[in-house]
Structure 1
């Protein structure tokens, strides 16, 4: 696991400044503390920060072909590299290292851009081929590893694992993209391919990008893989359970290859517990498991993690975190480089910090809910979709739009009385309704929050357009598959993978996600949706498959989630800090917000008249981002 960076002259062969290249490479030193190196030649500069995991003595990067005409920088792991190496050796390719990096390089020499189809793993890499005057960039299919890039006004391409590589370049202009702000205040993160900056982008998951020197305009990212929800697998349920168990075990086994200490996160939830159970079946010694608990029982799952640890006799480590563990706000803003409002980034940061004391590589259960229908919101969406399909859209809009406007917003009331959101969703199409349910701030709240000037800057853009665009490419109208597809394109990449990548890399910890293996994900996409949600139970076939290996209480208890007590924080120990952030001069002078609405939200939440916890947390994290911006301008005017 590493950090990569680079510069490329799109038109000529300028020699880049070595000190500048070293500086932008070192801003992500936390991603690779073991080694650092850069390569410069006319028109090209490549940098690498290394966290040694495989081939500790010989896997240095940038890595060159035998004749030094091709060079690669790579972040991630290719789990089938040993099989690919054998295939390439049979074709006459010679290897000097045992690393998966060299396997990618030789795969490029053998198959060119098609090499990505052979790779099974998580990766972001760039290959400079001097013979073809081509820079080739690629990102893994599920977007586990990040890759950012920008083209500067002087024709320089700058790219890196983290956005801070881009912003470290003195010629990059930090102009905020209004559409990214709208996406953020809707979803709590900036979804691919946008970044918070107008002139920087993220390479989408499952895409490549080929830059050729002298080409007249910037290339368009090319999709090389997309999940296909065919739902046409005729397999019987018992056979599906057996095959799923075998596939998960195989995916886990592939991810246990390492030359450094390896373990797993164990939250006590279904997915991480299943991964640990599969690891225990392959390990010759007790699996190292790491968990954190909270001193607030409402958020503490540690007893369930202990059940799994006892069942599989793991070497289990537990640390208890205080429920008022909120001192990471500024640290998180620095890690994520752009506004990021998933408050579970705090416990994620802590569990990575704790795990790194014991292991260098940790397996996680991320991706299971998206692939197997585990979220409660999926079941709610299916219930709403059943109602939507029973009435024409025009009639639904006629009936439910007025109800959605008139029904009061009752955050304080029992859940069954909070019908406003449901009424609003019933007047929408499926993609729009799912966006509505996923929005941290609904469209009406965002409209009140934004200033008139910012609304004009948006030019009518609304974040729901992103969901509708993905829905149009989903290739399915199955209600569950459609929203799973949208989650694969938005939530999984933009929130979950981003959160885990930055939190783990902050501690130089490599996290591997066996439930995001693309072969497993694609096989699951062939299963009919009834295998995923059945009798009101999410992840039905997955839970049945793991019944022999996991306690019943772990499999079938209500999903808790990895969350923190935001509302209480913002009325208690964080109240003053929240008020200072939300009503700071930075926020009020930004031109983005209606000042009166900011004051109303702060007052109403602190007096207990409304629950604005999500919105206020997003505003706090946005203020933290603006504060970083201010500091950067002061340091480099």
Structure 2
């Protein structure tokens, strides 16, 4: 795993100072502490920070062909590089190294952008073709590895794995974009089609951008997309066997490393499945680790221990306590943009724990999105069935009832019907967007000043979900919800969290459950094999019954969460009250201090539930202070 950065001039090929590119890559030293390199030519400069994983003695980057006609700076891993290499060697290519980077050089010569279709891996890379004087920026199918870029005032396009790499260029200007703040408060993260820094763009997952000399900067081109419109055929037993085969292949391919390797083990289905299949392959005890919480309702360490004992892993546990919010400033630094998924605290701690013994760790990320594991999918699918039965006028009545129904955050879940009633009255996309979001539109609008609302000009965080679901390659409502999560939630939240927290401690995280072949297979499964009798990931759980205990497979999903609501009624109560007095939030001109004070007081007293919104405001305050002073 590595960090990349560089410059390209699409117009006049101006000289590129190596020191400028080096400064950009030095800002990414945590992503690659094992080595650094810079390569420049008229109009282009590529930089690299290396975390050595494969071919430790070779593989230095940027890497060029012997003729110097193709040069690459690459972040990631190509898991099938040996197969691609064999295909290229059959075409006459001659390799000088033993790693995966050189495959990109010869692959570009042989296939051009069609090279991307050959790759199975996680990656973001910049490849310069000296003959065409073009620069290719490419990102993997699911968006596991990030890539940011911006056009500068001197005509250059600057790019980097993280925004802090762009900060290091003296011509980069930091100007806030309030529409991205709206996105952040609505969704809990700044999605891939937005940035809190005006002018910064993120190359979308499954896209490439070809920059050519003498041509303006165009739009990224999509080279892969997940398709939910097809349906697999076969018996349940056959599909179970296929699922296990996909999982086994994905796990084994991600165990290739020349450095110590282990796994995160939460005690949930997904990480337990990965560990089970690793143990099946490994000749030694798999190194596993987990983070627990000092609040019993959030702690899964007993389940993790049960799985660790079953597969005789070398297991370690560490507890995260309420005072772990001391990590806030560390996370703000590594995420650059505001990021409010509070489980990043525990994810950072488990990465930190893993890095004490290994350099590569496999995670269980991806199965919830691929196989409908989140509870919200079950609710959305049920709501869609009800919507299909109700005439429009009747649905409108549900909305009226929902608006009159009390908001009972304190009550048992069956009595909290307000959200469901309101959702039934809405379009499916709008309802799901609110279900997956954090702070509701009505609450956000109540926090904004009149000027801030005018500045948004009608922009709303949820709109992207509505549009994505409307145009999804899908057959039903469940398909559309999952597809939208693949486009927004997965790259914007889950994969951003894992990339930044793992790279913060120079750990490579690999996600076998996001192998694109497994994702494509899962997307083709009938909805009844994804959710059945209220169980998400139904087929996966059935297939794993020979491997895992039933109380691991079928217990209620807890998720990798952090008890922030309790914190804001306890250890962080003063922080919540202080947000209303924040010079940063008030000085932005976007927020009404009195509205924040009312929100904090209602939460602290227990009358209402606003823990996640308060966490967002706290993170936003710290992020704005770091980004803009």
Question: For this structure pair, what is the TM-score category when the shorter chain's length is used for normalisation?
Answer: over 0.9
Partner residue in 2 for 1:80: 80
Note the C-alpha offset of 1:582. Answer: 4.5
Note the C-alpha offset of 1:117. Answer: 0.4
CA contact (8 A) 2:122 2:143 kept: yes
2:601 to 590, 600, 603: 603
Distance 2:230 2:131 in 1: 44
Distance 1:334 1:232 in 2: 44
Note the C-alpha offset of 1:134. Answer: 0.4
- 1:196-245 Cα offsets, whole Å, 9 max, x none, are 12200111100010000110x32111001101113421111011111111
Partner residue in 2 for 1:540: 538
1:179 partnered with 2:168: no
Distance 2:137 2:557 in 1: 38
**SS of residue matched to 1:126:** strand
Question: May I ask how many residue pairs the two structures share in their alignment?
Answer: 629
Pairing 1:126-145 to 2, within 5 Å after superposition? 126-145=126-145
Distance 1:430 1:394 in 2: 16
Distance 2:533 2:570 in 1: 41
2:511 to 510, 513, 519: 513
Q: Could you tell which deviates more after superposition, 384-393 or 240-249?
A: 384-393
Q: Could you tell which deviates more after superposition, 11-20 or 21-30?
A: 11-20
- 1:422-448 Cα offsets, whole Å, 9 max, x none, are 122111111111001112111111111
Partner residue in 2 for 1:317: 316
Partner residue in 1 for 2:56: 56
**SS of residue matched to 1:326:** helix
Distance 1:108 1:579 in 2: 56
Note the C-alpha offset of 1:333. Answer: 0.7
> What do you get for the CA RMSD once the two structures are aligned?
1.2
Distance 1:257 1:94 in 2: 23
- 1:242-283 Cα offsets, whole Å, 9 max, x none, are 111111001100000000001111100000000000111111
1:444 partnered with 2:442: yes
Partner residue in 2 for 1:379: 378
CA 1:90–1:174 in 2, change beyond 3 Å: closer, same or farther?
A: same
Partner residue in 2 for 1:613: 611
Distance 1:411 1:294 in 2: 23
Distance 1:514 1:434 in 2: 27
**SS of residue matched to 1:316:** strand
Distance 2:66 2:579 in 1: 55
Q: Could you tell which deviates more after superposition, 408-417 or 251-260?
A: 408-417
Distance 1:477 1:263 in 2: 38
1:361 partnered with 2:360: yes
Partner residue in 2 for 1:156: 156
Partner residue in 1 for 2:43: 43
Note the C-alpha offset of 1:395. Answer: 3.9
**SS of residue matched to 2:208:** strand
Partner residue in 2 for 1:557: 555
1:587 to 557, 566, 585: 585
CA contact (8 A) 1:582 1:616 kept: no
CA contact (8 A) 1:323 1:564 kept: no
CA contact (8 A) 1:393 1:429 kept: no
Distance 1:478 1:520 in 2: 20
1:115 partnered with 2:115: yes
Pairing 1:207-286 to 2, within 5 Å after superposition? 207-215=207-215, 217-286=216-285
1:170 partnered with 2:176: no
CA contact (8 A) 2:174 2:628 kept: no
Note the C-alpha offset of 1:405. Answer: 2.5
CA contact (8 A) 1:333 1:621 kept: yes
CA contact (8 A) 2:603 2:609 kept: yes
Q: Could you tell which deviates more after superposition, 91-100 or 599-608?
A: 599-608
CA contact (8 A) 2:580 2:594 kept: no
Distance 1:193 1:539 in 2: 29
Distance 1:94 1:14 in 2: 33
Gaps of 5+ in 2: none
Note the C-alpha offset of 1:420. Answer: 1.9
Partner residue in 1 for 2:487: 489
Could you list the runs of 4 or more consecutive aligned residues of structure 1 that deviate by over 6 angstroms after TM superposition? none
1:460 to 455, 458, 461: 458
**SS of residue matched to 2:621:** helix
Partner residue in 1 for 2:5: 5
CA contact (8 A) 1:408 1:420 kept: yes
CA contact (8 A) 1:149 1:201 kept: yes
CA contact (8 A) 1:264 1:363 kept: yes
Distance 1:385 1:594 in 2: 37
Distance 2:601 2:527 in 1: 45
Q: Could you tell which deviates more after superposition, 553-562 or 166-175?
A: 166-175
Note the C-alpha offset of 1:19. Answer: 2.4
Distance 2:258 2:392 in 1: 58
Note the C-alpha offset of 1:307. Answer: 1.0
Partner residue in 2 for 1:90: 90
CA contact (8 A) 1:289 1:315 kept: yes
